[in-house]
Amino acid sequence: MTSIRENSSCSGPMQYQQINLTDADVFEQEIQLKIDDTNGSLSVFIVDMSGISKLFTRSGSSASASFLRSVAQLLVRVCREGDKVYRIGDCTFGIVFDGIDSVVMQQLAAEKIIRLYNTAVSELEASFKGGISIGIAAYPEHAANAVDLIHSARMAAEAASNSGDPYLVYSPEALSTMSLKWTIQDDLVAAIKSGSLNLVYQPKFSVASGRPIGAEALVRWDHEDHGPVPPSVFVPLACDIGMIDELTSFVLMTALNNASDWPDIGQNCSVAVNLDAQLLRKPELYDLISNSLSIWGADGAALIVEITESALVVDSKSNFDCLNRLRSAGIGVAIDDFGTGFSSLSYFKDIPATELKIDQSFVANMHTCDRNRKLVETIIALAHRFDMTVVAEGVERAEEFELLAKLGCDVVQGFYVAEPLAHDDFCELMAKCDQDGFGARCQDELGKT
């Protein structure tokens, strides 16, 4: 195996030569020397590139080596005098940033690496989809020696890869989450196959009428040994182990089945199901949804599929084609967490959506932050111009609800009106609200019966 040597100072030109993969040892030794010789701080970045092995196979060693040289040169551009870049694995680089320990500076460096890497990828063949994961750890905050510092950065890089984030700063929480994933992997397969997961329903209320118009189905897993496992842990894990189709099928079938039992309250209701971005690129998705609807959807609530905004900007043409096909079949499409991704009018005009959901981070502060209020007002007006229903997520206070009503929001969900409920409790809530009207009062009454 050959490599490229990058253990010279980033302030000067990099020298490329064929050597054995020994730079990982040099990387560790020089970090330890820096720690021993300074009373200051430093940050270690592990830059891990996925998909490069496919490039090796398809394009040959010469093209692959050329790409890696380009990446190394781009990494040098991030560095200042005294910083260093090392190649520490087939597809992995390490960078030592001297004197950087603030999260803001770490994030700025990571963002620049990602931009430069994307530039290098864009110059390759269009079919190459290799991603990048960056793990960041700082001395002395995260470790007291080189071995532990590198280990922390590697763990952060792996956690970033597992979570789908381009970069992560090391934290014990990230390590704990990753350890939990390793422990529960086999149990998740069994839980999905046996249907032992549960659904709860987050009620959605019309602002105008004060009555329920449906719910968002949320999957839950109560592990026998570990207790409740967050969806943010087990849903990405289902993707990693190839069980996302089975998990989605379970959620669709269960939600549509339950919705067919909802009481008739004299208006059309809908049940919303979240779809992972991976599924949009699968040709089987349409059949999966159609089969579920053919069994349970005829007399039940209308189906809405929720897609995060960030999922749309990745391979947007293919994703839009898939969503257009679902819309043609009468299935609603909601854009979830709007405002937190890469909002752009250039693609907004083409979104085949019926519903737009404003993220809780904007709702929570809009009554005290004038900028957030103006932003929410603009989003509502824009969505209405494109004939979309606007849903505000995470409404927890009366003042938030009152301002949303004033701004013309159509639908709200959140603890102010009702918390997520088991199916039977949601049915009872619907019946009570059909008689008595809006929101939290209905849930209070439900608790008294």
pLDDT band at 443 (very low <50, low <70, confident <90, very high): very low
Is the pTM of the predicted complex or chain greater than 0.95? no
Q: What's the average model confidence in pLDDT over 248-271?
A: 88
Q: What's the average model confidence in pLDDT over 234-240?
A: 86
| Contact criterion met (CB below 8 Å) for 199 and 231 | no
Triad 278, 280, 284: Cα angle to 5°: 100
| Residues 290, 54: Cα–Cα separation, whole Å | 34
| Residues 167, 134: Cα–Cα separation, whole Å | 4
Q: In this predicted structure, what is the pLDDT of residue 53?
A: 61
| Residues 145, 154: Cα–Cα separation, whole Å | 14
| Residues 302, 325: Cα–Cα separation, whole Å | 16
For residue 67, pLDDT beyond 80: no
Q: What is the pLDDT of residues 422-437, one digit of tens each?
A: 999 999 998 887 665 5
- Beta-bridged to residue 202, according to DSSP, are 216
| Contact criterion met (CB below 8 Å) for 134 and 166 | yes
Q: What's the average model confidence in pLDDT over 355-381?
A: 90
- DSSP assignments along 147-168, one per residue: HHHHHHHHHHHHHHHHHT-SEE
User: Domains in the chain and their CATH numbers?
Assistant: 3-170 (3.30.70.270), 180-448 (3.20.20.450)
Look at strands 332-338 and 355-358 and give their pairing: parallel
Q: In this predicted structure, what is the pLDDT of residue 16?
A: 35
Token pair 């039992």 in the structure block, residue: 261
| Residues 353, 335: Cα–Cα separation, whole Å | 7
pLDDT band at 58 (very low <50, low <70, confident <90, very high): low
Q: In this predicted structure, what is the pLDDT of residue 19?
A: 31
pLDDT band at 15 (very low <50, low <70, confident <90, very high): very low
The helix or strand, by DSSP H or E, that contains position 327, with its residue range, turns out to be helix 316-328
**At 12, which amino acid appears?**
G
Q: In this predicted structure, what is the pLDDT of residue 128?
A: 55
Q: What is the pLDDT of residues 179-232, one digit of tens each?
A: 777 778 889 999 999 989 999 999 999 999 888 999 999 999 999 888 999 898
274-to-4, 18, 271 alpha-carbon distances in Å: 44, 49, 10
SS3 state of residue 225: coil
81-to-96, 183, 246, 418 alpha-carbon distances in Å: 11, 43, 51, 56
Share of the chain above pLDDT 70, in %: 80
- DSSP assignments along 12-40, one per residue: S-----EE-S-HHHHHHHHHHHHHHH-SS
Higher pLDDT, 73 or 324: 324
Least confident of 125-129, 138-142, 220-224, 361-365: 125-129
Q: What's the average model confidence in pLDDT over 25-43?
A: 88
